[in-house]
Chain A
Amino acid sequence: MHYSPKYMRITLLITYAVALLAPVLFAPLCAADADAGTDRMAQLEARLIAMEARLVTAEQVQPAASNVSEVRIAELESRLAEAEQETREVKALASIGGNASSSSIFGRGAALDIMVNSAWRKLRWTEPEQWEAVRPGVSVDAVIDALGKPPRSVISLKPRVDEVFFYETSLGDRSNSLSGKVSFRKGQVVKVQKPNFQQQTQAR
């Protein structure tokens, strides 16, 4: 589209006129808005002070007996703790998956999906502090309490070992996986091989 030079000159003149008149016309309106904002701020401050006063009063008054039982509170706290633990486990898995080798047959997203969907495995063993309770002499039940049921176990063919629990995130991708094992003899731990958490931390 093309405009003639005459038409363009008229448009410029109108624009200059509007620019000169605007401050004159709108200045009183802006002043009115500023006054309204100050008033509103003052009102808000007054409401806040009043709320604070009511809160102080409420805190000084003896609380009414709650109809929420202690059992219910304990149950909610337990559920919250479990949810927090699961969140930590999924984060741990995600951090491992984040380092998944590009050569893996699974893409990174697929690997994450698989690991997150494996949350039933009770992967608390991926937390280093969970291994502190696993020492020679402790029972099978104590190990399961600390680490969860193993993803893999075997009745050992070695003469001095009865059973071995394997805790592994991946067998195929050894460079990026966590792997630990616990050996038992007569129902007690005889050997512990903890996962190399330091290597995982450095890999991140």
Chain B
Amino acid sequence: MKNKIALTAAFFAASTLSFAEIALTENLSVGGFVDMSYQHADDDNNSIEANQPGNADSNNNNNYQVDQVEITFSLDYGVVTGQIDLQWTPNGNTQFDQAFTTYDLANGFVVTAGFYDSMLGFEAFEAPGLYQVSTAYTSGLTDAYSKTQANFTAVNIGNLITPQTNNGVKITYEDGTQFFGVSLQDGGFFGDNRLGGDSAGSNNAGALNQIVGVFGEQSGYAAEVAYARDLGNGFNVFVGLLMEETEVDQQVFNAQDIETSLDTTTLNGYVTYETGAWLFAAEVVQTEMEISGQQNDIEIDSFLLMANYTYSDQASVTARISNVDVDDYFDATKLTAAHLYAFTDNLALAVEISSVDYDYEAVGGIDGDTLEAAVELLFTF
């Protein structure tokens, strides 16, 4: 498995990257993948086990299932193309993962409109684009990044590091060595499927609730800017910025709603270096959330370092260290070792072992570590 950056030219077209294509007609092709795995996790922490005072909580869990099935329909009408990604996940959801259309303005300029993945982030959004089974800023079965604290409902911190998929319009430019993109979206982390105006919901309502308190209507928009360049000699560099503005009607018990503003800024940069059979990557992400009327902003600093070594035509090994630090609240370090073996071009087996050491820094916060193992079979078509 390889990340989109390693595809060099393909990286620049990351938003329109499909994993495979079977041409059904001259204009319509279909592709996709099936991702299935066995995962086991042991979590050991210092919280008190429910109903058993004095006993430290530790648990283990495993699952063996199809994690994701995705089918991509690609339509090609020359300068106009379209892509619809349908995905199925174990919780029974069948939904659009992406759905967008592009118009080629020529000379490298392309306009994209619809529901598409963020340009930010080193790691691919889907399993076929990863070097490992897990991503750097999340954990598996016993998610160390979303523990329920005293008086604080769990929030998946991994969902607040880099933006995911949003509705919008973007214009991109690429030539053989560089890429530039600007996107106007309904949001970054808290998209509400609108561009401004008031709405009652959010795509990340749980997190928004935790950050600004119980809220009623919200209004928001976001803009993304990204630039990537092939520096030559195996070096690639990427910088990206997300700015999101979210207006929230904060609900106060027995009082009038208070209008609160949440400004979110994400700065993302990464460098990759490829030499011979080695690929090295380093990424930093800083997400800052400023809440009007509150002194303490939320700042999430994350980084990853990765080395991948290909030792045969079919196999590679990867080592990765990643860290997430939420000011005065949380700190976690994850170590990952993974092995990939590709039986054919479209069938691969990945094995991974990860260790997560985490600490919720508030008084009485949970401190623990998790050991996770995973075996994943990936089939693309």
Contact = CB atoms under 8 A, between A and B. Distances in A.
A188 to B, nearest CB: 10
B7 A162 contact: yes
Given A155-B17, A155-B19, A159-B313, 10 more contacts: A149-B23, A150-B23, A154-B19, A157-B342, A157-B346, A158-B313, A158-B344, A162-B8, A163-B10, A164-B345
Contacts of B6: 162
A158 B22 contact: no
Given A162-B7, A162-B10, A186-B9, A157 B1 contact: yes
Contacts of B23: 121, 149-152
A156 B31 CA distance: 13
A120 B346 contact: no
A153 interface: yes
A157 B8 contact: no
Interface in A139-185: 149-164, 183
A155 B26 contact: no
Contacts of A151: 22-23
Contact of A152 (B18, B21, B312, B315): B21
A96 to B, nearest CB: 18
Contacts of B1: 157
A175 B346 CA distance: 22
B313 A157 contact: no
A77 to B, nearest CB: 25
A187 interface: yes
A162 B18 CA distance: 12
A149 B29 CA distance: 12
A120 to B, nearest CB: 4
Contacts of B347: 157
Contacts of B348: 157-158
Interface residues of A, number: 21
* Of listed B31, B347, B378, residue having the most chain A CB within 10 A: B31
B230 to A, nearest CB: 10
Interface of B: 1-2, 6-10, 17-23, 25-26, 31, 128, 310, 312-316, 340, 342, 344-348, 378, 380-381
A153 B345 CA distance: 10
A154 B8 contact: no
Contacts of A186: 8-9
Contacts of B9: 186-187
Contacts of A159: 2, 310, 312-316, 340, 342
Contacts of A163: 10
Contacts of A160: 310, 313
A187 B380 contact: no
8 contacts: A152-B22, A154-B19, A155-B10, A158-B342, A158-B348, A159-B310, A159-B316, A159-B340
A154 B72 CA distance: 12
Contacts of B312: 159
A161 B19 CA distance: 13
Nearest to A191: B313
Which are the 10 A-B pairs with shortest beta-carbon distances?
A157-B348, A159-B310, A154-B20, A159-B316, A156-B345, A158-B342, A157-B342, A120-B26, A155-B19, A187-B9
A153 B17 CA distance: 12
A34 B378 CA distance: 88
Contacts of A150: 23
A156 B346 CA distance: 6
B9 to A, nearest CB: 5
B155 to A, nearest CB: 34
A155 B31 CA distance: 10
A159 B380 CA distance: 15
B345 A161 contact: yes
A153 B19 CA distance: 9
Nearest to A155: B19
B162 to A, nearest CB: 22
A158 B316 CA distance: 9
* Of listed A150, A151, A157, A163, residue having the most chain B CB within 10 A: A157
A158 B8 contact: no
Contacts of A156: 342, 345-346
A186 B232 CA distance: 13
Nearest to B24: A151
B32 to A, nearest CB: 11
Nearest to A151: B23
B8 A187 contact: yes
A158 B345 contact: yes
Contacts of A187: 8-9
Contacts of B342: 156-159
B345 A120 contact: no
